[in-house]
Structure 1
Amino acid sequence: MWKQIVTETNRQWATLGKYHTRLWPFAPAATFTFAQQPTARKLTSTSAAKPTPPKHDWNRAVSEAERIVGYPTSFLSLRWLLSDEIANVALHLRKLVGSNHPLLKTAKHLLYNGKNTMQAWGLIVLLISKAAGHASSVPDMEQDKSAGVLHSQRALAEVTEMIRISHLVHNSIVNLQPTSEAGKDTASYEDMAFGNKIGLLTGDYLLGHSSAELANLRNQEVVELISSAVRDFSESQFIGDRDEQNNPLPTKPGSEPPETNGTATTESIDFDVNDVMIPMNVLKAMGNPEKEWECRNILNAGSLLGKACQGALKLAGQDEDMQRQAYLFGKHLSLAWQACLDAEPFQITTLPLDTTFSLVSAPVLYHLEYDPSLYDEIEKGKVSVEKIDYVKIHKAILGGPGLEKTKELQRKHTTAAIGVLEKFPATDARTALENIILAMQDL
């Protein structure tokens, strides 16, 4: 009788877990179990082999981190999913099913929690906030004592995710003007134009709402900090060569500025050490594989995460040195994550049909330094990157040092991020951040 009760209860909990995952897609998959009837403890020998430590699991690391800082941090919570604005967007997105508009791919990556997206940015901000603590001068009403963070820090975490996602949605817009054949296929053209409208309005809505939430923090320095990250997003769209669809192309080999002398360090490519709001010197980075990659990805992602972590500690009243360390942690973590994503398409020996990858990813840039002749293939994409033979480039990179150098690049920034964490007090929040970094390496 007891076994029947346990079996039926486990089945019901498993069903509830599946429903929870569909209803709240940003929450990590959960497994519910019901304890078996206790049995007598068996005596074991002290010489028994110790169990091997479990492999670092991403969902497990994120789930544990969310428990430490309270409820899941993603703005795609029930209060957003059930709002009229998001419901209308979801309704219009259904009309794009069957088309090739990039917005559908972006929406899929946002709605399904997986290793290909970084939906945990708000969680990172809250964890670094709890790891650093706050000044004693912060009023009690501002503190969320159950989670160990401030209400303003939680609001900043949501703002960070909204800005990031608005940027991704805006990047899904297709440029239809240069396409001479755009008006001939009426159905396809109308689908693309409609998708552009949805992407533009959705991105603007999220960016506008995040601006209002940011202003509610009533902290001018934090507003300036996050605003400069939005500026960096925009700047990242105008550096280097582009095709007519505004897809980035790598700098032609041999275009390296003479002052770089072939050297590249993380410290050489960054914002001003005394003021991260001063624009980055982009010119000295182009043409050098590591510098160019770091420059592009700091502007495109690392700036927001790093400045959000810095802003969270500014809200907590921490000193400038701690704020600087928080910025460095966010920057290095985002770069390590991007290196992981860049290496993924090259972990397989054969590129699947109709699969593409970024032409400014680390393996491509490193291989162009190793074999500049490959740039002849990339030059075919000056009008559109669709004319490039990705299979040929993929095969060439597998035969060169690009993938191994990308893994070294990931290890470099992973080590730097962990080194920054060691300067924070030893807490459960710091441990959770370390577990996330270790789990990221196993992706």
Structure 2
Amino acid sequence: MTSATSLFSPVEADLSILTENLKNLIGARHPVLYAAAEHLFGAKGKRVRPAIVLLVSRATMMGQDITTRHRRLAEITEMIHTASLVHDDVVDEAELRRGVPTVHSSFGNRIAVLAGDFLFAQSSWYLANLDNLEVVKLLSQVIMDLAEGEIQQGLNRFVTHLSIEEYLQKSYYKTASLIANSSKAAAVLSESSINLIEDMFNYGRHLGLAFQIIDDILDFTGSTEALGKPAGSDLKSGNLTAPVLYALENKPYLEVLIEREFAQPGDLEQAVALVRDSGGIERSRELATHHTHLAVKHLEDLPSSASRQALVKLADYVLSRLY
């Protein structure tokens, strides 16, 4: 299987610069926040989101070099993503992220919340300094969407009558909005045509949805080691994802287990077994495949380049994580 890192070879040098810059952007004025940030940016993240921003930047600059504003956009994207993870982990009471102890388990909830707030504030400040109102609007929308997605997820815990459309809407807010809007912002900074700018948004949207659906499948099929968190943890916390929503259509007893919030011994294990036996995982895989195909379709008007090719292969990579 191709690794994400090898896919990013056209922007490998850019990503090295990004990692160093991220630590410098946080600054050493707040030792504990700096330690928390170093802990985050030193974790085994694949840097998928900034890599997409850099690939879109290079693909839309048509052979010219990318600008310092493209680079800063990639850094802002990773800061926003990381800030959202810190807050998510506090809300979910997660102990591990990418196999590494979470900020709140290492530094306590108070520091974790402040570290997340600090990163959001820093990203907003650097965003304003790009001096591009359209890009400011796009990334500000992402920060609102992330909060909206977290609120929706919190309000819908253990709710068994959610539709797939509602699930996709929440997935857009939580995952796809950042990829879609930062890809669009990269094309805006490249001064691309209106059509190409919209294509980059839609590439990011469909790729982000596929990415989330695959993550939700892996919650049932992956190992704790591979996931960096316990398998079945979404279901346990009442976050009902595509495999569960499809399974509910033909496994009525699953609804009973969910609505009593897995209160009895063996409930969770039984629920996981019902999902695996329902065809819900296969249907979710078809849904993810549909969105990766739509993502690639939106790359058709990009001129041929190593970066464009990497964006195409990235869609294949997202799907290949299942195998």
Measured against the shorter chain, the TM-score band is 0.7 to 0.9
Question: Which ranges of structure 2 fall in alignment gaps of 5 or more residues?
Answer: 94-103
Q: Is the 8 A contact 1:377 1:388 kept in 2?
A: no
Partner of 1:252: 160
User: C-alpha separation between the residues in 2 aligned to 1:133 and 1:92?
Assistant: 35
Instruction: State yes or no: 1:390 paired with 2:268.
Output: yes
Q: 1:421 to 1:175 in 2, by over 3 A?
A: closer
Q: Is the 8 A contact 2:83 2:115 kept in 1?
A: yes
Of 331, 341, 356, which residue of structure 1 is paired with 2:232?
356
Partner of 2:246: 366
Give the CA deviation at 1:75.
Answer: 4.3
Query: What letter matches 2:267 in structure 1?
Result: D
Q: 1:118 to 1:408 in 2, by over 3 A?
A: farther
- TM-score, length basis structure 1: 0.61
Matched-pair identity in %: 27
User: C-alpha separation between the residues in 1 aligned to 2:255 and 2:74?
Assistant: 41
Flag the structure with larger Rg: 1
Deviations 1:74-101 (A, max 9, x none): 446574499425753465799xxxxxxx
RMSD of the alignment, in Å?
3.5
Give the CA deviation at 1:330.
Answer: 0.7
Q: How does 1:30-429 map to 2 (within 5 A)?
A: 55-62=1-8, 64-67=9-12, 70-72=14-16, 74-75=18-19, 79-80=23-24, 83-85=27-29, 88-89=32-33, 111-113=42-44, 119-133=47-61, 148-174=65-91, 195-239=108-152, 242=155, 248-249=156-157, 251-253=159-161, 287-289=162-164, 291-347=165-221, 355-358=231-234, 359-381=239-261, 389-429=267-307
Query: What letter matches 1:120 in structure 2?
Result: V
Q: Is the 8 A contact 2:184 2:197 kept in 1?
A: yes
Higher relative contact order (CA 8 A, sep 6+): 2
Deviations 1:21-47 (A, max 9, x none): xxxxxxxxxxxxxxxxxxxxxxxxxxx
Q: 1:367 to 1:320 in 2, by over 3 A?
A: same
Give the CA deviation at 1:415.
Answer: 0.8
Residue 70 of structure 1 aligns to a residue whose secondary structure is helix
Partner of 2:101: none
Q: 1:304 to 1:241 in 2, by over 3 A?
A: closer
Q: Where in structure 1 do 4 or more consecutive aligned residues deviate above 4 Å?
A: 73-79, 90-94, 191-194, 348-355, 384-388
User: C-alpha separation between the residues in 2 aligned to 1:204 and 1:296?
Assistant: 22
Residue 407 of structure 1 aligns to a residue whose secondary structure is helix
Residue 175 of structure 2 aligns to a residue whose secondary structure is helix
Give the CA deviation at 1:401.
Answer: 0.9
Q: When the two structures are aligned, how many residues end up with a matched partner?
A: 305
